[in-house]
Amino acid sequence: MSTTDTAPAPLMTKLEMTELIMAAKFAKQTSWAEISKAAGMSDVFVVSACLGQNTLPAEAAAKVASFLGLGNRTKDVEIALQLPPKKGQEAETVSKDPLIYRFFEITYVYGDTIKELIHEEFGDGIMSAIDFDLKIERIPNPKGDRVQVSMSGKFLPYNQW
């Protein structure tokens, strides 16, 4: 190897990518809806990718990185957005964040009920988190607005052999 050869720069980690994206989002005073519109994809999926839990296609990754105006880090973020993540990396313990914890609580209290009702309706299987859609909406209510979380996943029956 000659002295003019250079090793490629190490890849940006998903955590570094997320920190840059969050800082740029704050500095630009933009919203996830605007970032997702620039990417041309669903806000839920784009946010998930920006938080390191999903992968964006090259074109969408380039649009997000460009929209955020990351200067000399644009290409690094663009590449990191395309790298496959280690999903649920932090999910080994229950989050102490009150909002995230409530989803664990819902699963603890209603998980077996949801499982029982899905099995009764569809049979023995699971709801896919790969072929999956998620939507979050504000529902006006006189007692205080409500959060509606809609999840839709393909039913995958267990194989029997």
Q: Which residues are catalytic?
A: 102, 105, 128
Location of structure tokens 């090259």:
58
Output phi, psi for 85, to 5 deg: -85, 165
| C-alpha gyration radius of the chain | 20
Longest dimension (CA), the chain: 72
The 3-state secondary structure of 5-56, one letter per residue:
CCCCCCCCCHHHHHHHHHHHHHHHCCCHHHHHHHHCCCHHHHHHHHCCCCCC
| Sign of the alpha-carbon torsion through 66, 69, 75, 77 | negative
* Residue 85 DSSP one-character state: P
Q: Which of 124, 114, 118 is nearest to 157 (CA)?
A: 124
Q: Please say whether the beta carbons of 36 and 51 come within 8 A.
A: no
